[in-house]
């Protein structure tokens, strides 16, 4: 893979098509994605699944107007290989991790299906709005061939907004991963006195935008040499008006720190901290998101 200037990676743009009552989002992840994935050294099937989930999280999360709001994507399965997958986005910060059964994974082919990984699994998408303190959550079965398909079902069923989600992932010979995603939605029109436009899944405007969006290839989304603005132009160059907006840069986020971990440990009694400590008098606290260990002493001050 040739070196790509950072402005084309770890960024997102938004766009609207007023005449078609549609809006969209494009995102492309590079170094941030690699930083998250390499910290865990997951097997290839798990790594690719997490890359898709992180891309979806960035796509949906960057639509938040609340700068301190948080978008969380979480999956659960009682019988599948994937026990827990969690990704979240807040203020430009992206993070995620997976818990899985390595023995069950070893029994699967190298490129397992989504059903093989999850069985009867469920996808939850949660919006936490800091300004109002409100929380919105929708839960849908993990059906179809990709997590993107399950997320589309969430917006159709829970939000009643026709949506299109596409993700492309590429891993170069040097081991670096680039992922890109497209998110299209039909905007609502009319709240009183007539049917809301966005519940009409077969509305001609949406059918037109959806058809164009479906021509976007996964290879284009994951091609870091193609500016995101170029992808918008390829899709909608015949539209009368397409308005593009910039989103905050995306960085790897993890909210753990030695001071924060120490403050949490102090909530336990000295006796409880002593029981948790190892032979050196240290409590080893693991952060699932960043895969780091934080050693904390069990004494009354609980200093790291």
Same domain for 152 and 93: yes
Q: What is the reported pLDDT for 5?
A: 43
**What does the block give as tokens for 191?**
């709240």
pTM of the model: 0.84
Same domain for 279 and 241: no
Same domain for 284 and 228: no
- Give helix 44-61 / helix 147-154 axis angle, nearest 10°: 30
Q: What is the DSSP letter of 2?
A: -
In a domain, 246, yes or no: yes
Q: What is the reported pLDDT for 258?
A: 66
**C-alpha span between 210 and 208 (Å, rounded):** 6
Could you tell me the mean pLDDT of each successive run of 10 residues in the chain, 304 residues long? 56 94 95 93 95 97 90 91 95 94 95 93 93 90 92 86 94 91 81 42 80 96 94 94 92 75 73 78 70 63 43
Same domain for 277 and 176: no
- CATH code of the domain containing 62: 3.55.30.10
Q: What is the reported pLDDT for 93?
A: 93
Phi-psi map region of 10: left, alpha, beta (phi>0 left; psi -120 to 50 alpha): left
Same domain for 191 and 291: no
DSSP secondary structure string, 164-217? EEEEEEEE-TTS-EEEEEEEEEEPP---SSS--GGG-TT-HHHHHHHHHHTT--
Question: Using CA of residue 226, residue 232, residue 235, residue 239, what is the dihedral sign?
Answer: negative
Say how many Å lie between the first and final Cα of the chain, rounded.
Answer: 41
Same domain for 282 and 150: no
**C-alpha span between 205 and 214 (Å, rounded):** 14
**What does the block give as tokens for 93?**
């910060």
Same domain for 232 and 140: yes
Q: What is the reported pLDDT for 291?
A: 67
In a domain, 203, yes or no: yes
Name which of 24, 22, 17, 23 is nearest 180 in CA terms: 24
Domain boundary among 237, 252, 267: 252
Q: What is the reported pLDDT for 194?
A: 36
Tokens 């890109």 sit on residue:
180
Contact 202, 210 (CB under 8 A): no
Q: What is the CA radius of gyration of the chain?
A: 21
Annotate 186-199 with b (16+ C-beta within 10 A) or e (fewer): bbeeeeeeeeebbe
Q: What is the reported pLDDT for 65?
A: 87
Same domain for 241 and 133: yes
Number of domains composing the chain? 2
Domain that holds residue 172: 8-252
Q: What is the reported pLDDT for 253?
A: 83
Query: Half-sphere exposure of 94 toward its Cβ, with a 13 Å CA cutoff?
Result: 32
Same domain for 164 and 278: no
β-sheet bridge partners, residue 177: 171
Helices (H), the chain: 31-40, 44-61, 102-106, 114-118, 147-154, 204-213, 218-221, 228-236, 258-265, 270-276
Q: H-helix or E-strand containing 260?
A: helix 258-265
Same domain for 267 and 211: no
């Amino acid at each position: 893979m040739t070196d790509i200037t950072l402005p084309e990676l770890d960024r997102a743009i938004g766009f609207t098509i007023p005449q078609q009552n549609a809006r969209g989002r494009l995102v492309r992840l590079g170094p941030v994605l690699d930083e998250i994935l390499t910290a865990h050294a997951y097997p290839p099937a798990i790594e690719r699944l997490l890359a898709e989930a992180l891309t979806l999280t960035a796509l949906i999360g960057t639509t938040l107007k609340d700068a301190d709001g948080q978008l969380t994507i979480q999956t659960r399965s009682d019988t599948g290989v994937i026990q827990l997958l969690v990704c979240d986005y807040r203020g430009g910060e992206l993070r995620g991790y997976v818990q899985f059964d390595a023995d069950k994974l070893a029994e699967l082919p190298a490129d397992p299906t989504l059903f093989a990984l999850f069985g009867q699994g469920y996808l939850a998408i949660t919006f936490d709005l800091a300004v109002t303190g409100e929380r919105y959550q929708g839960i849908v079965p993990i059906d179809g061939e990709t997590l993107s398909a399950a997320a589309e079902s969430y917006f159709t069923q829970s939000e009643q907004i026709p949506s299109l989600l596409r993700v492309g992932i590429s891993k170069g010979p040097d081991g670096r991963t680039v992922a890109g995603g497209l998110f299209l939605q039909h905007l609502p029109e009319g709240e009183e006195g007539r049917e809301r436009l966005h519940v009409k899944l077969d509305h001609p405007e949406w059918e037109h935008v959806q058809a164009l969006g479906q021509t976007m290839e996964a290879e284009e989304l994951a091609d870091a040499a193609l500016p995101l603005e170029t992808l918008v132009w390829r899709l909608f160059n015949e539209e009368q008006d397409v308005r593009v907006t910039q989103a905050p840069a995306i960085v790897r986020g993890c909210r753990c720190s030695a001071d924060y971990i120490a403050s949490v440990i102090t909530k336990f009694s000295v006796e409880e901290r002593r029981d948790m400590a190892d032979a050196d008098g240290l409590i080893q606290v693991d952060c699932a998101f960043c895969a780091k260990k934080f050693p904390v002493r069990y004494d009354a001050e609980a200093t790291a």
